[in-house]
Amino acid sequence: MDNYIVSARKYRPMTFNSVVGQRSLTTTLKNAIASGKLAHAYLFCGPRGVGKTTCARIFAKTINCLSPAADGEACNQCESCVAFNEQRSFNIHELDAASNNSVDDIRSLIEQVRIPPQIGKYKVYIIDEVHMLSQAAFNAFLKTLEEPPHHAIFILATTEKHKILPTILSRCQIYDFSRITIKDTVEHLQYVASQENVTTEPEALNVLAQKADGGMRDALSIFDQVVSFTGGNVTYKAVIENLNVLDYEYYFKLTDCILANNVVDALLILNEILSKGFDGNNVITGIASHFRDLLLCKDARTADLFEVGASIRERYIDTAKRCSNEFLYKAIDIVNQSDLNYRLSRNKRLLSDLTIIRLCQLSSPQSGEDQKKKQVIEPVFSKANAESNPVQQQPQQPVTRPQVPVGNPQQANKPVISTRNISESVPQSAPKPLSSNPAKTTSSLGLGISISAFGQKKEEEKTEVEINTESLNERFTPLQLINEWKSYAEGLIEEHHLKNTMLNCLPNLLENTLFEVVVNNPVQEQRLAENRMAILTKLRAQLRNTHLRMEIRISQDNEKKLAFTPAEKFNLMMEENESLRRLKDEFGLELS
């Protein structure tokens, strides 16, 4: 039984023409060899499995070929090419910088560089993973890399170019290898499958290419794995089962439910996906990619960017026709925000469910233009409820009018409903009218309440409540501001630090709508700044002034006197005790 060789080694390119997906780089190298304009140092950089080391070996073999072909390829028949193919060439040396990264290893390499080649013109030194060299090894290599012997050529390969010293980069010709496209990967897999007598489906190979993420070595490794699983018949279902890839069918089902505003079925599909072991974050990113592919398929010019099989492409095009551009834009934005928040979320399942619900709401009848209409709160009490729940007769409470602050004439002529009367009327079937004529009043939360009384009978009253968009600009006294400020602080239960800050730092009214809060340190300033909008919203509602503004600053006096860090505390102690300063200077003490 012959020894098995994996496809990544068995079908490793031996010529420039057989390199997949790097046509521009191989053409440049072939032209340099043909014209005899060879540099003394090259740097091949790019992702894993795209052909860096392979191109370095082909380049080393070709420049030492004794009778190169007309197209610039090696002949594979001369002594130098045969020795290279049999892995016994003394002109090509490979060094793994990951395990030979010391200064001594570089010195040993420099000593070998001095020996000229016995067969051929050049001795080629391929240093793989060169970014793993230590800084001392890089420095020891600089002089030789800049001025090597005329027969020596260095080819450095790395996946992380940013870790290499700029002095090394400036001495090399840099070739950036790109990721191999899905189309090129599928074509090469089809060639390998034909050589191995393996039957494949185009959709299956497309999934393999997407899973490889631009690396040919990864694609061939996954191909061998799937062939072993299927026994030589690579199908789409077998691939997604073996690689644990989510089927396209689930994305299309979710899209149908989202377009139909069917939240229940969408959540059931999501639960089915998660029950199969898929991570919620992978599902969210998959939905984002799915909507992105639908957006590409909206136009025939961008549909070419979507690299899938023909049958799946047609299905995407048909589904994209049912989705508007605005829907896809909003859907992609929602899923992208969920992807960003997923890692920080404590309840990840709830975040996934909310994402699906929000997507379904994009196609609901209330979305779009209906959301721009003025919102109207439905009446809390209806005639039917009034008849089913008769009002118990209670003595009518007199309407009281609170005291109006001095110097506030704007409140003098406004009707005010006492808090007691409103709270007592809520549990009943209908609120009590103030008079026989309709009157418009405003609640303490800034919501305009229109109360209309038709007749004298309370059982036949109807109320209509709608949001009032008018701005409030009532005046208030500094004492009212401080009282509301303390009331908000005392209502904080969990935010102890914010509560103490607000109780210790009271507001100072500067103008009619501007007040200032003087804090003692930057920490208090940050806490107030983080909760600025919540505080202002509450104060504006309670003081009935939507133009209220707040400024925060640190007290200059306290900033100098208070100490928070160990260094500040020690300096403050030295200012108060001169003996402590002399002790520090005499013994040369330092604060750690």
* Residue 345 structural domain: 248-369
Q: What Cα–Cα distance (Å) separates residue 30 from each residue in 27, 86, 172, 286?
A: 5, 23, 18, 41
Q: Tens-digit pLDDT profile for the chain (592 aa)? A: 467 888 888 888 888 888 998 889 999 998 888 888 889 999 999 998 898 999 999 999 999 888 888 777 888 888 888 888 888 888 888 888 888 888 998 898 888 888 888 877 889 999 999 999 988 999 888 888 888 888 999 999 999 999 888 988 998 999 999 998 888 898 999 999 998 888 988 888 888 888 888 889 989 999 999 998 888 888 888 888 888 888 888 889 999 999 988 899 999 999 998 988 888 888 899 999 899 888 888 887 777 777 666 677 788 888 888 888 889 999 999 999 999 988 888 898 999 999 999 999 887 765 555 444 444 445 544 444 444 444 444 444 444 444 444 444 444 444 444 444 433 444 444 444 444 444 444 443 343 433 333 334 344 444 333 344 457 888 888 888 898 888 888 888 878 888 888 888 889 888 888 899 988 888 888 888 888 888 988 888 888 888 888 999 888 754 445 556 677 777 778 877 878 888 888 887 877 6
| Partners of 448 in beta bridges | 442
Statement to judge: residues 27 and 154 lie in one domain: yes
The one-letter code for the residue type at 10 is K
Statement to judge: residues 167 and 27 lie in one domain: yes
The residue out of 438, 470, 502 marking a domain boundary is 470
Please give the pLDDT value at position 354.
92
Statement to judge: residues 344 and 386 lie in one domain: no
Statement to judge: residues 435 and 455 lie in one domain: yes
Closest to 591 (Cα-Cα) out of 561, 562, 571, 564: 571
> Is residue 574 one of the residues assigned to a domain?
no
Please give the pLDDT value at position 590.
78
The residue out of 176, 193, 219 marking a domain boundary is 176
Cα distance between residue 439 and residue 451, in whole Å: 6
> Is residue 186 one of the residues assigned to a domain?
yes
> Is residue 566 one of the residues assigned to a domain?
no
Statement to judge: residues 157 and 119 lie in one domain: yes
Statement to judge: residues 168 and 40 lie in one domain: yes
The one-letter code for the residue type at 263 is V
Are 357 and 257 in contact by the 8 Å Cβ rule? The answer is no
Statement to judge: residues 485 and 466 lie in one domain: no
Q: Which residues fall within 8 angstroms of residue 265, CB to CB, at 6 or more apart?
A: 257
Please give the pLDDT value at position 399.
44
SS3 40: coil
Our count of domains for the chain comes to 5
> Is residue 74 one of the residues assigned to a domain?
yes
| DSSP secondary structure, 445-475, as one string | TS-EEEEE--SS-GGG-EEEEE---PPPB--
CATH for 273: 1.20.272.10
Statement to judge: residues 165 and 33 lie in one domain: yes
Please give the pLDDT value at position 381.
47
Burial class (CB in 10 A: 0-12, 13-18, 19+), 338: buried
Cα distance between residue 417 and residue 398, in whole Å: 10
Ramachandran area for residue 49 (φ above 0: left; ψ -120 to 50: alpha; else beta) = left
41-45 and 549-554 as β-strands: parallel, antiparallel, unpaired? unpaired
CB-side neighbour CA atoms (13 Å) of 233 = 1
Where do we find the tokens 């191995």? 196
Closest to 239 (Cα-Cα) out of 184, 193, 290: 193
Q: Which residues fall within 8 angstroms of residue 169, CB to CB, at 6 or more apart?
A: 43, 161
Please give the pLDDT value at position 435.
41
Angle at which helices 310-321 and 280-296 cross, to 10°: 80
Statement to judge: residues 336 and 280 lie in one domain: yes
Where do we find the tokens 């189309």? 183
**Phi, psi (degrees; rounded to nearest 5) at 426:** -65, -45
Please give the pLDDT value at position 474.
85
| Partners of 152 in beta bridges | 123
Cα distance between residue 366 and residue 218, in whole Å: 48
The residue out of 141, 176, 211 marking a domain boundary is 176
Statement to judge: residues 77 and 139 lie in one domain: yes
Closest to 556 (Cα-Cα) out of 583, 516, 520: 520
Burial class (CB in 10 A: 0-12, 13-18, 19+), 413: exposed
> Is residue 135 one of the residues assigned to a domain?
yes
SS3 485: helix
SS3 123: strand
Statement to judge: residues 258 and 208 lie in one domain: no
Please give the pLDDT value at position 55.
93
Cα distance between residue 127 and residue 162, in whole Å: 17
Statement to judge: residues 109 and 46 lie in one domain: yes
| Partners of 234 in beta bridges | 200
Q: Which residues fall within 8 angstroms of residue 368, CB to CB, at 6 or more apart?
A: none
> Is residue 148 one of the residues assigned to a domain?
yes
